[in-house]
Structure 1
């Protein structure tokens, strides 16, 4: 679709002033995105000019439109409406030079190759590896409600 007008010259279209929200339908070329908007004179959408970079991944996104000289057959994309990412639970790392504290909502996993240490919110500490070694120059104490070996 070219950037030519989509209505015949004899058509009496109303003037559109201000910003209108539309939808990006296609990006066949970097210079001619296809958009639709409420009251669009062509059901298949209109080729538009743009002031912002649009990609095929943006198809279906809302766009802010203005119209050259208020002409509804000459849309100009002035921007893509941004969606704020959903607020994820905060993971926090605190470092004060003496101590490193990692905080997370559900679990923390430290992994290197086949070895991992997992801390869960239920209070479980899971240590996994191909070889586990526990050494101490002092007391090596194991305490628990019950201790199971093998």
Structure 2
């Protein structure tokens, strides 16, 4: 019985300590209870320089230096971003992220990236095009496609499975 009463005493002491902390803690007071902090707003990315990222809240105001939670590149300039204001200060915007547009056309969308073109086509197809070669690599395995029509598969092991016919066709077929 002494063990149970000791446990109850410890619990009682912890509860009274918690009650004391709650009584002594003053509620958090804001400087002005009637000021409502702005909700998320939209702004336009104006520039990205050594000084930082500048956003325009609207056409009539000068751009404002902003902090960002998202990486911003030169390609993002002119895009719309979602911002909030740090401590409600209109001169301290925080970029939450870029607004994404779902403007994919039904046929295809091309995105050039250093002479490589990624094309999103209908029905979940992805077309990747390069002028010289494309190599996919993962560890010891690689698949290389070249512009002159050469396909090279390199791996430690290659398994080839087919549910139906497995055909090997070519001008000549060499095994080993």
Q: TM-score range by the shorter chain?
A: 0.3 to 0.5
Q: Identify the structure with bigger relative contact order (alpha carbons < 8 Å, sequence gap 6+).
A: 1
Scaled by the length of structure 2, the TM-score of the pair is 0.39
Greater share of helix: 2
